Amino acid sequence: GAGVSQSPRYKVAKRGQDVALRCDPISGHVSLFWYQQALGQGPEFLTYFQNEAQLDKSGLPSDRFFAERPEGSVSTLKIQRTQQEDSAVYLCASSLDPRVYNEQFFGPGTRLTVL
């Protein structure tokens, strides 16, 4: 079946604009994760969903960042009033069952550039 997909692949925003990044996880995967990867760095955890419930949002850097997964499948990461420091690749990952260890499958990422 298809892997994790993300759209758009590239996004350029002017400082102050709002952006929305979409993640389509693998069908049937319960867990969904968002990561932020700055240039030359490893991914940093942003938030985690189990079905539609956002169980951990400890990594969101500010209240300008908001994520949702209303029907337990597709997720959207929204960034309001974008700043230059928000420029990064945003990675989405999904895994099958949070009750046991399951491999996280990553999407290709969305590269956000804030001018």
Partner 1 sequence: AQTVTQSQPEMSVQEAETVTLSCTYDTSESDYYLFWYKQPPSRQMILVIRQEAYKQQNATENRFSVNFQKAAKSFSLKISDSQLGDAAMYFCAYKAGGYQKVTFGTGTKLQVIP
CA-wise closest residue to 77 among 106, 36, 16, 27: 36
Question: How many amino acids of this chain bind partner 1 (CB under 8 A)?
Answer: 27
Only segment of 10-18, 62-70, 79-87, 106-114 that touches partner 1 (CB under 8 A): 106-114
Backbone φ and ψ for 86, nearest 5 degrees, come out as -80, -10
Residues in 24-83 that interact with partner 1 by CB under 8 A: 31, 33, 35, 40-45, 48, 50, 55-56, 58-59
Instruction: Give the length of the chain.
Output: 115
* Distance (Å) of CA 67 to CA 6, 23, 91, 115: 14, 11, 13, 23
Amino acid at 78: K
Q: For residue 104, state whether it binds partner 1 (rule: CB under 8 A).
A: yes
Of positions 89, 94, 112, 114, contacts partner 1 by CB under 8 A: 89
Of 17 and 45, CB closest to partner 1: 45
Residues that bind partner 1 (CB under 8 A): 3, 31, 33, 35, 40-45, 48, 50, 55-56, 58-59, 89, 91, 93, 98, 101, 103-104, 106-109
